[in-house]
Chains A and B, each alone.
Chain A
Amino acid sequence: MKNFNHFKHIFAIVLMLAMLLALPACGTSPASDSNGPVKIKFEMFSFGETPDEAIVEEALNNITRDKIGVEVDIEFYNLANYEEQIGLKMAGNEAMDLVAILGDTGAMARQGELMPIDDLLEKFGKDIMDVCGDLLYYATIDGKNYGVPFMANKKYVATLICRKDILDECGIDPKSMTTLDGVGKAYEIVHQKYPEMTMLAPDGDGLIFGYYGIDNEHVKHVSYLSGDAYYLVSVNDDPTVINFYESESYKRELDTMRAWYEAGYILKDAATTSEVGSLSYYDGSLFSYISNQNCYGDVVEPIVHAGLSNITFPSYAIPLSADVVTSADTLGVGISSNSKNPEAAMKWLNLLFTDSDMATTLYYGVKDHHWQMRDDGLIEYCDGIEAGNSGWEAAFNWCIGNSGASYVFNSVSNDPDHNKKQLALNNSAEISITYGFEFDPDPVETQIAAVSNVVEKYAYALESGSVDVDTVLPQFIAEMKAAGVDDVVAEAQSQLDTYMASK
C-alpha cells in the first residue's frame, strides 16, 4: 500500500533523528594550550545586557596576557537564577575557576562549591591582602578563608531619602530627622501641608526598613550573624546572640510604624505591594523612602544628581542607623572547588585589585570605546554611549574587586580620588567584633526552615504598620518559639562563643 511505505519513510527518518540525539553535539572542551596563556573561566551574574562581551574580554586579555600570562572567559547568568545555575554546573562537574558570590560565601563553601584560598593569597594575592587588610577574613570556616570580599565603602546605613525642597519649604532642619521621633515630627508637618502625598512606602524587598535596625537612639551597632537566619544579631558589640524579632528595639520600631500607619503617613498597601518606593519618589508622589545608601558618617547631605536631568527636585540622604561593617551576606568572589587553574585565577584577581585600566575595563567597558579619560582625571561615557544601555551592563562594579582601583565617573563625583576616599572611610567605621564569624546552620536546619516560614507570615504585615502590634507581635513570637527559634539562638551562641575564644 502506498501509504504504508510513506509512513515507513517518516518512521525511519524520525528513528534516525532519535539516534542523532545520542551523539554528542557540539560539546566544546576548552583547548588547553600548554605553552600559551592560561585560560580561566569567570562565572558571573548579570542584571543587564552585555552584547559587547567579546570586545571587553579581548581588551581585558590584552592587559593580562602580557603581564601575567592569563586570559579570561566570562560566563553570565541571570541574577535571579544564578545560585541554582552554579549548583547545577557543580553537579555536572563543569569547568569553572572564578565564581562570583551573591552574598552567602559560607553557604557556598559549606556545600563544597569553593576552595580555601589562604595559600593562594599568600603566594599570588599580596596586593589583595594589602588592600583588604582585616576585612579580608570575612568568611572563615574552621580557620580557612573562602572568598575575597568586594572592597568599597562597606558601611551600610539605613538612609532616609526625602525631598529637600519640601523640607526647606516647611522650615524643617534635616539634622533633626536623624532619629525616628524626629522623622515622625517632620512627617506630621509635611502631611498637613500635603495631605495627598504619601510620606513613606517600602522600597526594594517590600519591607520598609529591611534589616537595618533604625532604632538608633538605643542601638549603636547591629551585627548580622547569618545569611540563612538574618534575625540572629549581636547588638552594640555584645557577643550575645539575640533574636532580633524578640528585642525591645524591634518592638519600638513596630510601634512607630503602627503609629505612622494609623496617622496615614504610610502607604496603605505597604504590606502587599510589589511596587517600588523609589519609583514613586522620583515620580513625585512619595515624600520619602528608606534605602541602604552608602552614607558617609552622620553628615546629612544633599544627593548628587549631576547628569541626571530627569530628576526635578533635590533630595537629602539622612542616616538613620549606626554604621557597622558586617560580614554576613557580603558580596565577593571565590574560586570553585573543581578549578583546574587556581593559581592563574588568583593572579588575575590580584591584578584586578591594583591595575586601574583593568578594573575600569571590567567595570565599564573598553577604553575609548565605552568610556574615555578626561583632563581632570575623571572619566566619562563616550559619545553615543549612555548609562544603562552601554552594551556592557555587567554587575562587576558593584560586587567584584576593588572599587578604589577604578577611575571615577564625572556623574558620580567631581573628585578623581572619590573611590579611594570612600575606601578609607572603612577604617573609621567600627568593624563589629563578630566580623568573620560564619554560622553553620546545619545542626538546626529543620528549625530554621520552620522559623523562616513564620517570619514570612508575619514580618511584612507587622513592619508595614498595617496590623495591631500588641496583639500580633506576641503571636509572632509564640509561633517562632513553637517552630524552634530558641534552639537556633542557642546553637548560634555556642558557635559564636567558640569563634570568639579562638580569636
Chain B
Amino acid sequence: MPEKLNKRSIKKNHLVLYLLMVPGLLYILVNNYLPMAGVFIAFKKINYALGIFKSQWVGFRNFKFLFATPDAWIITRNTVVYNVVFLIMETVFGIAVAIMLADMRNQRLARFSQSALILPDLISMVICSYIAFAFLSQENGMLNNTILPFFGLQPVSWYAEKGPWPVILSVVYLWLNIGTTAIIYLSSIVGINKALYESAELDGATRWQQITRITIPCIKPTIVTMLLLSTGTLFYSNFGLFYLIPQNSGMIHDVTATYDTYVYNALMKSNNIGMAAAAGLFQSVVGFILVLIANKITAKVDEDNALF
C-alpha cells in the first residue's frame, strides 16, 4: 500500500508546488501588476512639471477622439472582420501544415522546412513593406513588370485599387504567421500516442479518417486554447501589416484602416500620452469582455478546455 501517500506528504507536495511558482509569480507581480497602476494615465492630461501623480484628471475626455471620427464604423469593421478571417485561415492552414510536417517521411526535410517557415518572424515589418513594394510598385514592381505580362495581363495600379487588398493582406498575414502556428500545433501532434495510429491502421482506417478521428480530437485542447486566446486580441491589429504594407496609401484606406492605424494617424503629430493610453485601454477592455464571454461559453460546452 502506498504508505508514502499519507496526508502529510500530500500537503507537503502541495506546498512544494506553490513554492515552485514563487519566482514566476513574483516576476509577474513586479513586472506586470505594479506598472498596471499607470492605467490612470488614460484619464489624465499629463504635465511633466506637475508630475504624473499631480496632473489634472480629465475623466473620459481622452477617449473622445476614438468616437469622433467619421471612420469609426470602418475601422471597427475592418479590425474585427480581418481578425476573424485571419483566425480561421490561420487555424485551418496551421493545422494542415502541421499534419503534413508530422507525416513527412523525410524528417530531415521536415526539420528544414520548419526552420524555413518561421523565418518571416525575423524580418521587421518595415523591411516587409519594402519587399511588398518591390512586388506592387507601379514603376518597377515585379507583378507589373514580370509576372502579369507573363500571363498576358495588364499592369494594375495596386496601391490604388481596393479590391485586391483583403487578399494581399491575408497572404502577407499567412506568410508571417503560418510557421509559428504550425509549430504550435505540431508540438501537440507529436505528443499523441503513436499506438493509437498503429491500431487504427490495423483496423484499416484511411489517412483522412486518422486525421479526423485521432489527430484533431487529440489536439482539440490546443485548438480551443488558441481560439480563446485570440478572442482577447480581436480588437488589436498588426500595425505594421495594416499601415506599412499598404504604404499608408489613402486610396485604399477603406479596406486597410484599422483601429491601430487610426490611433497612429490621429496622434502622430501630437505626442499626447493620455490619449494614447486611452486608446490602449479601450482595446484592452473590449478584448477582455470578449474573452470572458467566450470562456463562459466554452466552460458550458466543454468544461475541460476553458481557460479558467
Chain A residues with a Cβ under 8 A of chain B: 14-15, 18, 83-84, 87, 90-91, 93, 107, 110-113, 115, 227-230, 267-269, 271-274, 337-338, 441-442, 445-450, 452-454, 456-461, 466-467, 479, 482-484
In the docked arrangement, what's the CA distance between A449 and B137, Å? 30
27 pairs, CB–CB < 8 Å, chain A vs chain B: A18-B27, A83-B271, A107-B270, A111-B46, A112-B47, A112-B50, A113-B49, A115-B49, A227-B269, A228-B269, A271-B160, A271-B251, A272-B248, A442-B45, A446-B64, A450-B69, A450-B70, A450-B266, A452-B269, A452-B270, A453-B69, A453-B71, A456-B265, A456-B268, A461-B160, A479-B70, A483-B70
Q: Judging by beta carbons under 8 Å apart, are A450 and B68 in contact?
A: yes
In the docked arrangement, what's the CA distance between A91 and B51, Å? 7
Which residues does chain A contribute within 8 Å of B130, judged by CB atoms?
A: 274
Quick check: is B151 within 8 A (CB to CB) of the other chain? Answer: no
Quick check: is B48 within 8 A (CB to CB) of the other chain? Answer: yes
How close is A339's CB to chain B, nearest CB, in angstroms?
Answer: 11
Partner of A93, one of B51, B137, B247, B265: B51
Quick check: is B262 within 8 A (CB to CB) of the other chain? Answer: yes
In the docked arrangement, what's the CA distance between A257 and B248, Å? 20
How close is B279's CB to chain A, nearest CB, in angstroms?
Answer: 10
What's the dominant secondary structure at chain A's contact region?
helix
B70 to chain A: closest residue by CB: A482
- The 3 closest A-B CB pairs, nearest first, are A112-B49, A449-B266, A112-B47
Which residues does chain A contribute within 8 Å of B267, judged by CB atoms?
A: 449, 452
In the docked arrangement, what's the CA distance between A81 and B65, Å? 24
Quick check: is B114 within 8 A (CB to CB) of the other chain? Answer: no
Q: Judging by beta carbons under 8 Å apart, are A457 and B65 in contact?
A: no
Q: Judging by beta carbons under 8 Å apart, are A460 and B249 in contact?
A: yes
List CB contacts (< 8 Å) of B57-99 with chain A: 61, 64-65, 68-71
Q: Judging by beta carbons under 8 Å apart, are B250 and A461 in contact?
A: yes
Which residues does chain B contribute within 8 Å of A84, judged by CB atoms?
A: 271
Known: A274-B133, A483-B68. A268 touches B139 (CB 8 A): yes
Q: Judging by beta carbons under 8 Å apart, are A452 and B266 in contact?
A: yes
Known: A453-B69, A461-B250, A483-B70. 8 other contacts (CB 8 A): A91-B48, A93-B51, A269-B138, A446-B65, A453-B71, A453-B265, A457-B257, A461-B251
In the docked arrangement, what's the CA distance between A456 and B261, Å? 10
Partner of A87, one of B64, B265, B271: B271
Quick check: is B235 within 8 A (CB to CB) of the other chain? Answer: no
Interface 1/0 per residue, B158-184 and A, CB below 8 Å: 011000000000000000000000000
A227 to chain B: closest residue by CB: B269
Partner of A457, one of B138, B247, B250: B250
B46 to chain A: closest residue by CB: A111
Which residues does chain B contribute within 8 Å of A90, judged by CB atoms?
A: 48
Partner of B23, one of A18, A268, A450: A18
Known: A112-B49, A450-B65, A482-B70. A456 touches B271 (CB 8 A): no
How close is A93's CB to chain B, nearest CB, in angstroms?
Answer: 7
A15 to chain B: closest residue by CB: B23
Q: Judging by beta carbons under 8 Å apart, are A461 and B26 in contact?
A: no
Q: Judging by beta carbons under 8 Å apart, are B133 and A272 in contact?
A: yes
Partner of A18, one of B26, B68, B157: B26
Which residues does chain B contribute within 8 Å of A338, judged by CB atoms?
A: 48-49
Quick check: is B272 within 8 A (CB to CB) of the other chain? Answer: yes
Partner of B250, one of A229, A442, A449, A458: A458
Which residues does chain B contribute within 8 Å of A271, judged by CB atoms?
A: 159-160, 249-251
Which residues does chain B contribute within 8 Å of A448, judged by CB atoms?
A: 269-270
Quick check: is B283 within 8 A (CB to CB) of the other chain? Answer: no
Known: A111-B47, A269-B139. A445 touches B69 (CB 8 A): no
Known: A93-B51, A107-B271. A268 touches B138 (CB 8 A): yes
Known: A273-B137, A458-B250. A452 touches B265 (CB 8 A): yes
Which residues does chain A contribute within 8 Å of B51, judged by CB atoms?
A: 93
List CB contacts (< 8 Å) of B1-57 with chain A: 22-23, 26-27, 45-52
Partner of B159, one of A91, A272, A482: A272
In the docked arrangement, what's the CA distance between A50 and B52, Å? 33
Q: Judging by beta carbons under 8 Å apart, are B68 and A446 in contact?
A: yes
